[in-house]
Structure 1
């Protein structure tokens, strides 16, 4: 009997969960990703802000599945899908045939039609983004130390984060800690505590997916840490010199984008109907209409909850979808009844603000402060892959907690014109 070929495009949370759960006789799995590693994105901002090293939140995909002889891994960039011939096209001319295809290609930054802002306001989706932002942050202080002009120095010490969701809030808190506490004793010509950290949100409040009371707590905590929270005022312009909020221009040589995402082009590859964010509108079993052999999951798919809301683009949602698709494929291969339509189970929202400060929304149970911070930390350590990673992150956090110093403050990338601050 011929092998049933399952091709998974994307080694993120959904793709990895699917590969792990899909163990079925006569089935081979091929994972295709343009990077050779799986990334724990919820902690990516901590790499960007010097708390963690890259190796602590990323693992080679091949290593993760070295004992699974039914799984092959290919390093390549998918550029198209031929649904008629059932093949995936890779950049460089290679093709990979499939019997079942799962597209779990994630999302990219969305600048709401202003893509020209990207060179000046990098987003945070990959390790390369994190190391670029880390480099810009650290170079801003180094260049300010050399700068004699007070206005240019002020611009170098002004950091603007656009978007006040969990990533924006978490980054603003750590940058404030870095500038106002950690670096204060290390520079001689500048006072890093005079740094200005702006958190800019077009909506009426920070952390909009959280209840208003927790949003208010986050705003007060950030303000206490020295972050200027600007809500209800969208960014109207962005350049290498700074940002404009409405009619006000703020000189700022370091700008970070945390405002929005756009789905990958996977929906276009298979001719699926898309929503405004480019996500594929999928069937209740996460397949593409007219193509039951093609599944789309994770940030690439538009999936609705029972009450009609969009399933959030977070790791638990992606893992649940990966697990569900594995059960569907397994049922088909074993000729068993199909599982019931996918139902998302929301586990709650978590966001950290600063040292010993976080907010958690578990529905009826809502927490804030130091207890929420400990729960947030334990939850993230639990979901890391492998004992070594859990220990490494726990030790890094313990070091920061006890000494107040970040250990990943190396400037390692070569300076380019695009990356200049």
Structure 2
């Protein structure tokens, strides 16, 4: 309800695709909009894997939220971390103690990684949801080649040049293809003690095919394309353990210095507010 001349106040939590879509849909409405995000940029998540594998820079897939709404005077942007919602009082509560009133509330907080009850695996097998994830993964990938260049033990060098990706959905498939291209094309001839093109990229999937939510013909095509690039695709084998340098799946233990999680997502904790 509005009070006197005060316009209807809409608060949107999240400046991702959902939040920006809501802002666009409300264009022309007699409302004041406040969008809250814990980061100051909108992120084009589908291309995170290209930042992680050096094909794109972070600035090419992230744009300031304020810039995107600068021609919308009814839209205000707040940088903050939401910790709760006072439903009775109609306030959004922020981590710094701030409170923002609303008449209507839109929650568009996206998703996070899901480890299916094995959250202890996350430090060893990080996922890819933020710019910070992508830049950390890029560093981890490149440092693996640098460490392999100086490693004299053949087994340790082999592990450094082995990259395991868990989960063969869109993110896993894209990452597998990008990592093998990084090794075989981008870094080719740049080292003296190792041959980056000899790196192994193993894509592990518990289900019977890659891209399970796509048509079977597309799954078959994607698997063939990956194998043609040199990716080893292991299907029908669920991961049962992950450590700092091993992945256990099926009846085998894979020694890999770099392990990436792309096996599932979980709704944000917003529902608990």
The TM tier, using the shorter chain, reads over 0.9
Residue number in structure 2 paired with 1:243: 247
What whole-Å deviation, never above 9, does each CA across 1:73-109 have from its counterpart, x for those lacking one? Answer: 0000001011111111010211111000000000000
Aligned length: 269
Distance in 1 separating the partners of 2:239 and 2:21: 38
Q: TM-score, normalised by structure 2?
A: 0.96
- Of 4, 11, 29, which aligns to 2:8? 4
Alignment of 1:69 onto 2:73: yes
Distance in 2 separating the partners of 1:15 and 1:83: 20
Distance in 1 separating the partners of 2:253 and 2:215: 31
How far is 1:25 from its partner?
5.3
Residue number in structure 2 paired with 1:287: none
Residue number in structure 1 paired with 2:86: 82
Distance in 1 separating the partners of 2:140 and 2:148: 12
Q: Could you list the runs of 5+ residues in structure 2 that have no partner in the other structure?
A: none
1:6-405 aligned at under 5 Å gives the runs 6-24=10-28, 26-269=30-273
Secondary structure of the residue aligned to 2:51 is: helix
Distance in 2 separating the partners of 1:246 and 1:224: 24
How far is 1:215 from its partner?
0.9
What whole-Å deviation, never above 9, does each CA across 1:260-309 have from its counterpart, x for those lacking one? Answer: 0000111121xxxxxxxxxxxxxxxxxxxxxxxxxxxxxxxxxxxxxxxx
Deviates more, 1:178-187 or 1:158-167: 178-187
How far is 1:24 from its partner?
3.9
Distance in 2 separating the partners of 1:217 and 1:27: 48
Q: Contact between 2:49 and 2:178, CA under 8 Å: does it hold in 1?
A: no
Distance in 1 separating the partners of 2:265 and 2:29: 38
Secondary structure of the residue aligned to 2:134 is: helix
Q: Contact between 2:82 and 2:92, CA under 8 Å: does it hold in 1?
A: yes
Distance in 1 separating the partners of 2:168 and 2:245: 22
Q: Contact between 1:28 and 1:71, CA under 8 Å: does it hold in 2?
A: yes
Q: Contact between 1:2 and 1:26, CA under 8 Å: does it hold in 2?
A: no
What whole-Å deviation, never above 9, does each CA across 1:111-163 have from its counterpart, x for those lacking one? Answer: 00000111111101100000011110000000000111111100000000100
Divergent runs of 4+, >6 A: none
Over the aligned positions, Cα root-mean-square deviation in angstroms equals 1.0
Q: Contact between 1:240 and 1:253, CA under 8 Å: does it hold in 2?
A: yes
How far is 1:191 from its partner?
1.2
* Residues 184/97 of structure 1: CA separation in 2 closer, same or farther (3 Å cut): same
How far is 1:192 from its partner?
1.1
Distance in 2 separating the partners of 1:67 and 1:220: 47
What whole-Å deviation, never above 9, does each CA across 1:29-79 have from its counterpart, x for those lacking one? Answer: 000000000001111111111110100011000111112111100000001
Q: TM-score, normalised by structure 1?
A: 0.63
Distance in 2 separating the partners of 1:33 and 1:15: 10
Distance in 2 separating the partners of 1:93 and 1:181: 50
What whole-Å deviation, never above 9, does each CA across 1:333-380 have from its counterpart, x for those lacking one? Answer: xxxxxxxxxxxxxxxxxxxxxxxxxxxxxxxxxxxxxxxxxxxxxxxx
Distance in 1 separating the partners of 2:220 and 2:9: 51
Secondary structure of the residue aligned to 1:15 is: helix
Secondary structure of the residue aligned to 2:147 is: helix
What whole-Å deviation, never above 9, does each CA across 1:167-204 have from its counterpart, x for those lacking one? Answer: 11111011111112221210000011211100000000
Q: Could you list the runs of 5+ residues in structure 1 that have no partner in the other structure?
A: 270-421
